[in-house]
Chain A
Amino acid sequence: MQTAATALMPSFQRAASRVAIRRVPNYQADLAAILYETISQFNLPVRGKTILLKPNLVGLDTGGIINTHPSVIAAARETFLRLGAATVLIGDGPATERDTIAVLESMKLREFVGSLSGVFVDLNLDNVEHVVLKTRASRLKELYLPKTICGVDYIVSMPKLKTHHWAGVTLSLKNMFGVVPGGCYGWPKNILHWAGIDNCVLDINATVRPDFAIIDGIVGMEGNGPIQGTPKPSGVLIVGDDPVAVDATGTRVMGLLPEKIKYLTQAATMLGHIERDKIKQLGESVESVMTPFAVLEEFRHLSHR
């Protein structure tokens, strides 16, 4: 079972993580070429494997400003197929909109990916299996998780670069809330809020262990994210083999301090790195692409040392 495959490891024992930043002016760019060129550098062990792309599909999004943009999802799928993956699935379980079909239609995912039959998995309605959580940060101890999540070889978390009105930022780690099935826990998955968002981020990621992350920061969202914020053109894709490091980098690109995001500091103890000297930066530097994001008053401290 994939969820049991990767051992937790103290941060000081982990090799440096690799994160690449690419400038991408808009969604009309040749994203497949950019992603293939970038991800090829990582020599990922994906040949012959079943990959699950886990985009951030929050709700109806006709304007392409809430969800991971369909052109990025399609480009990532093409990239992993080119890299030799046997199957590349796309799956998510929207948190508040129960009509997943309506979400997919609103963002015209079919126009970018082609037929979704046999490709897209509604993680809210998938068959489930009982999973004991690998950490005890929250009081949950166990969850029922989609069989698809438990069965694939390789998981790629694909969030959008957004602020979040409860968690500060929502990137590849917070994006994994989408694997918790609404069909077991409702819409929204309120059990995660009551057990503590930060602690659940750790428990879910320690258990499911996404292998790679691709942040759609071409147009992000600032302010009252993840749904009602303001579009923020940032012109970047951020990818890497350590979702914690990718999120730390994304947070810095937003002009915020990852060391002040509670779940990132927790994740840095056993899942990955947030320290800059433990992250091998590829492509553009953080400073060259930094675009300060507005945050709600509660999160002003995230931008001050």
Chain B
Amino acid sequence: MNFIEQSCLPYLRNAQNEDGGWGFMPGAGSRVEPTAWALIALHEFASASSSEKAVSNAASFLKKVQLPDGSWPAALGQHSGSWVTSLACWSLLFSRQFESSLEKGLQWLGKELPGDSLTLWKIIRKLTAGGREAIQDDSFSGWSWTPGTASWVEPTSYAIIALRKGTKSPPPKLNQRLHMAKSMLYDRMCPAGGWNCGNPMVYGVAGEPQVGPTVWALLALQEDFAKPKIQESLNWLEHNAAGLQSPGSLALTHIALHLAGRTYAAAKLLPRIYDENNEVLWNVPVAAWSALTATKHNWLSVTLPNGGTR
């Protein structure tokens, strides 16, 4: 706890820009993704460290940079929304401000279809070499990084988490969409468990799992933790943890394993790696995830702005 309070939280508070947002590094221009992560982390410590003002300013920043269609851009100035919409929605669930912004964002997310959900794409893929380079079920789709491109594990996981409990005005067929997205995640799981960005097998060679996509997919599928396939992925994450050297992967591994009831001592390892002056090793999302290792995971089980449980 000392490490979090003495290092991570001050790092985050000091890195907040005057516009209320955060860049990926201290001093960098504000972006949606690091702002969302900092907001979520600081909200968890709002009572202990007077972060309320920071959280409120962050929510105001997100409200200000939302695009007219309800989505959020990955970089300010971009005219179309992206995967960061899921993260912005997720973070706004905590601020209890700007409910209409949140609702607009969730509506956009529910309607946003990836390019690989289109029939024309599926036909072209069957007719070209693409059909055999990667073994996957093209009937499943989730969410893409940017509009009009393919479904990938990480943006799909973020969207499932943000939409998990539905909106107050659920977009049509949202439940079917979430079911299909979860099926996509299972389909893209690596043969020995875990996930990479979304290529479990290319030209007959099994893809190697990666920490980030594995953690996000596990969090998106957390209601399935008892299933053998998910246990396999948790086993991979646990086995892989021994060799981790980067703070981001350490923190994410800790979060997923603890949520699954397994023990992992990232909290002891993170302080040894921490160096606030090393911008290569430490950035805003990493500091936020590190702070979240010390929480009870309330941020993964959020409450509706109107008081209901999502």
Contacts and interface: CB of A to CB of B under 8 A. Distances in A.
Nearest to A118: B279
A143 B212 CA distance: 26
B202 A224 contact: yes
Interface string A263-288: 00000000000000000000000000
B44 interface: no
Contacts of B244: 102
A190 B146 contact: yes
B245 A105 contact: yes
A171 to B, nearest CB: 20
Interface in B149-174: 149-150, 152, 154-155
Interface residues of B, number: 49
Interface string A80-111: 00000000000000001111011011100000
B105 interface: no
B145 A190 contact: yes
Contact of B146 (A99, A101, A125, A191): A191
A194 B149 contact: yes
Contacts of A128: 75
A127 B28 contact: yes
A118 B31 CA distance: 22
Contacts of A296: 203
A102 B82 contact: no
Nearest to B155: A186
A130 interface: yes
Contacts of B211: 99, 102
B196 A96 contact: yes
B74 A165 contact: no
30 contacts: A59-B208, A96-B196, A96-B210, A99-B212, A99-B248, A105-B246, A116-B278, A117-B277, A117-B279, A118-B279, A125-B24, A125-B25, A126-B28, A165-B203, A184-B75, A184-B78, A185-B145, A186-B145, A186-B155, A187-B154, A188-B152, A188-B197, A190-B145, A191-B146, A191-B149, A193-B150, A194-B115, A224-B203, A228-B207, A296-B203
Given A186-B149, A186-B155, 18 more contacts: A96-B196, A97-B210, A98-B212, A102-B249, A105-B246, A117-B277, A117-B278, A117-B279, A117-B280, A120-B280, A125-B25, A127-B28, A144-B75, A144-B78, A185-B146, A188-B197, A190-B145, A194-B148
